[in-house]
Amino acid sequence: MTKSVTYVSKRTDRDLLKFFLAAAKIMEADSISVHLAGEAAAWRIEVDALTERDEWLMRSDLCSIVIMSVAKSHARVHIDRRPDQNKDDQFDRALFDALVFTVDAGRTGSDGSPLTSTQARQINELIDEVFGRDINLSSAAFKDPKTLQTVLRSHQSIIERLQKMTLEVGEQTTRARRELDAEYVDLKKQLEDQVAAERLESQKAIDAERAALAQRADEVAARARVLDDRNNTHVRRELHEKLKARLADRFKKLDLTPETKKARWPIHIGVAASAGLLAFLVYSLTSEALLVTSRSDSTVAERILVIAKSATASLGFLGIISWYLRWMNRWFERLAENEFQLKQFELDITRAQWVVETAFEWKISQQSPIPDPLLENISRNLFINSEKDVNADMHPADYLASALIGKASNVKLAVPGAEIELGPKALNGAGKAG
* Distance (Å, whole) CA 89 – CA 7: 13
Question: Cα 347 from chain centroid?
Answer: 58
Q: Inform me whether the pLDDT recorded for 127 exceeds 90.
A: no
Residue with more model confidence, 425 or 68: 68
What's the confidence (pLDDT) of residue 138?
54
Query: What confidence tens digit (pLDDT) does each residue in 336-373 have?
Result: 787 777 777 777 777 777 777 778 778 878 888 888 88
What's the confidence (pLDDT) of residue 4?
80
* Distance (Å, whole) CA 34 – CA 49: 15
Residue with more model confidence, 410 or 434: 410
Residue with more model confidence, 306 or 401: 306
Query: What confidence tens digit (pLDDT) does each residue in 277-319 have?
Result: 888 888 888 888 888 888 777 787 887 888 888 888 888 888 8
Reported confidence tier of residue 415, pLDDT bands at 50, 70, 90? very low
Lowest mean pLDDT among 59-73, 108-122, 127-141: 127-141
> What average pLDDT score do residues 33-52 get?
84
Lowest mean pLDDT among 14-28, 68-82, 99-113, 164-178: 99-113
Query: What confidence tens digit (pLDDT) does each residue in 141-180 have?
Result: 555 556 556 666 766 777 887 788 888 888 888 999 999 9
Q: Are 23 and 130 in contact (CB under 8 A)?
A: no
Domain boundaries defined on the chain: 2-140, 143-233, 254-390, 394-434
Reported confidence tier of residue 110, pLDDT bands at 50, 70, 90? very low
Counting every residue written for the chain, the total comes to 434
What's the confidence (pLDDT) of residue 146?
60
Contact residues for 372 (Cβ-Cβ < 8 A; gap 6+) = none
Q: Which stretch, 126-140, 285-299, 412-426, has highest mean pLDDT?
A: 285-299
Q: Which long-range contacts (CB under 8 A, 24 or more apart) does 364-368 make?
A: none
Rounded to the nearest 5 degrees, what angle is found at the Cα of 245, between the Cα atoms of 241 and 246? 120
Question: Cα 179 from chain centroid?
Answer: 52
Reported confidence tier of residue 187, pLDDT bands at 50, 70, 90? very high
What's phi and psi for 27, nearest 5 deg? -85, 0
Candidates 40, 400, 19; CA nearest to 32 is: 19
- For the chain, give the mean pLDDT: 75
Q: Are 244 and 348 in contact (CB under 8 A)?
A: no
Cα first-last separation, the chain? 151
* Distance (Å, whole) CA 271 – CA 256: 20
What's the confidence (pLDDT) of residue 400?
45
What's the confidence (pLDDT) of residue 109?
42
Contact residues for 31 (Cβ-Cβ < 8 A; gap 6+) = 24, 44, 45, 46, 47, 70
Q: Are 99 and 128 in contact (CB under 8 A)?
A: no
Query: What confidence tens digit (pLDDT) does each residue in 242-283 have?
Result: 777 766 666 666 566 677 777 778 888 888 888 888 888 888
What's the confidence (pLDDT) of residue 410?
56
What's the confidence (pLDDT) of residue 432?
47
What's the confidence (pLDDT) of residue 85?
54
Reported confidence tier of residue 181, pLDDT bands at 50, 70, 90? very high
Candidates 49, 88, 50, 43; CA nearest to 65 is: 43
Query: What confidence tens digit (pLDDT) does each residue in 2-22 have?
Result: 788 877 877 888 888 888 888
* Distance (Å, whole) CA 405 – CA 427: 6
* Distance (Å, whole) CA 120 – CA 127: 11
> What average pLDDT score do residues 209-223 get?
88
> What average pLDDT score do residues 81-102 get?
65
Reported confidence tier of residue 233, pLDDT bands at 50, 70, 90? low
> What average pLDDT score do residues 41-47 get?
86
What's the confidence (pLDDT) of residue 307?
84
Reported confidence tier of residue 94, pLDDT bands at 50, 70, 90? low
> What average pLDDT score do residues 57-80 get?
84
Q: Inform me whether the pLDDT recorded for 399 exceeds 70.
A: no
Under DSSP, the state recorded for 132 is: I
In angstroms, the Cα distances linking 76 to 9, 35, 47 are 20, 16, 16
What's the confidence (pLDDT) of residue 402?
52
Candidates 142, 148, 101, 130; CA nearest to 10 is: 130
Candidates 3, 15, 108; CA nearest to 65 is: 15
> What average pLDDT score do residues 36-57 get?
83
Do β-strands 2-9 and 96-103 pair in parallel, antiparallel, or remain unpaired? antiparallel
Instruction: State the helix-helix crossing angle for 117-127 and 13-26, rounded to 10 degrees.
Output: 160
* Distance (Å, whole) CA 132 – CA 8: 8
* Distance (Å, whole) CA 393 – CA 399: 10
Which residues, in sequence order, are bridge partners of residue 2? 103
Alpha-helical (H) ranges within 106-144 are 117-127, 133-140
* Distance (Å, whole) CA 77 – CA 5: 10
68: left (phi over 0), alpha (psi -120 to 50) or beta: beta
Candidates 126, 136, 122; CA nearest to 99 is: 126
Q: Are 6 and 130 in contact (CB under 8 A)?
A: no
DSSP states along 365-404: HHSSPPPHHHHHHHTTTTT-PPPP-GGGG--HHHHHHHHH
